[in-house]
């Protein structure tokens, strides 16, 4: 059985905190944070979605739970070692071994057990659900935001139409009123005497 090293556990755990590409649509940034105790989650700004997973205050300065486990055989309990001896030489049905009739039947059960064990690593952090909830919250305000923007645009259009109408009326009045006659200059004629 291959035991993960500290480096592989660190690499896997760092990948677990990255946002999956399918969770992000074009133009939006998803920032996933782990906050502790009563710390406030920073507000989202613009197209950025900030999702916070809250953990107990006691976890703040501890090594993350997946990294705390030590897979060294020296740290394995004596009971688990004895149970391992019980499966030595197991063959046949439900053994997941290539020997004996039906040896393959236990492999599915092992895969299922491994999947559930992986799922239990940190059940408190479910970023996909938190991201979906934040998107739903933002989409709930789309209609009201659009209605407010439409009302603002309509006010601007009415002001623009009123200004055009006033300018056209002023032009019509300017064409209808004849221009005032130029004042004739008084010419003084002097005759020689």
pLDDT at 151 over 90: yes
Strand, helix or coil at 100? coil
Which residues pair with residue 55 across a beta bridge?
36
For the chain, the structural domain boundaries read 6-76+88-140, 143-174
pTM score: 0.32
Q: What is the DSSP letter of 87?
A: T
CA distance readout (Å), 130 to 25, 53, 192? 15, 8, 108
> To the nearest whole number, what is the mean pLDDT of the chain?
76
Distance of CA 78 to the CA centre of its chain: 46
Structure token digits, residue 170: 């002023």
What does the pLDDT look like over 179-190, one tens digit per residue?
565 655 555 666
Q: What element of type H or E holds 29?
A: strand 29-36
């Amino acid at each position: 059985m291959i035991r993960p090293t500290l480096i592989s556990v660190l690499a896997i755990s760092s990948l677990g905190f990255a946002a999956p590409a399918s969770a992000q649509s074009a133009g939006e940034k998803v920032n996933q944070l782990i906050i502790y105790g009563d710390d406030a989650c920073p507000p989202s700004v613009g197209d950025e979605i900030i999702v916070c997973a809250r953990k107990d205050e006691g976890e703040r300065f501890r090594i993350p739970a997946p990294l705390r486990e030590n897979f060294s055989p020296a740290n394995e309990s004596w009971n688990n070692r004895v149970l391992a001896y019980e499966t030595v030489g197991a063959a046949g049905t439900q053994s997941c071994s290539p020997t004996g009739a039906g040896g393959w039947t236990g492999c599915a059960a092992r895969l299922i057990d491994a999947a559930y064990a992986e799922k239990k690593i940190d059940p408190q952090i479910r970023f996909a659900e938190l991201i979906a909830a934040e998107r739903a919250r933002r989409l709930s305000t789309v209609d009201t935001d659009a209605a407010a923007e439409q009302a603002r645009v309509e006010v601007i259009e009415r002001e623009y139409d009123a200004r055009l109408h006033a300018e056209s009326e002023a032009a019509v009045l300017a064409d209808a009123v004849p221009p005032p006659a130029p004042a004739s200059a008084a010419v003084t004629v002097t005759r020689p005497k």
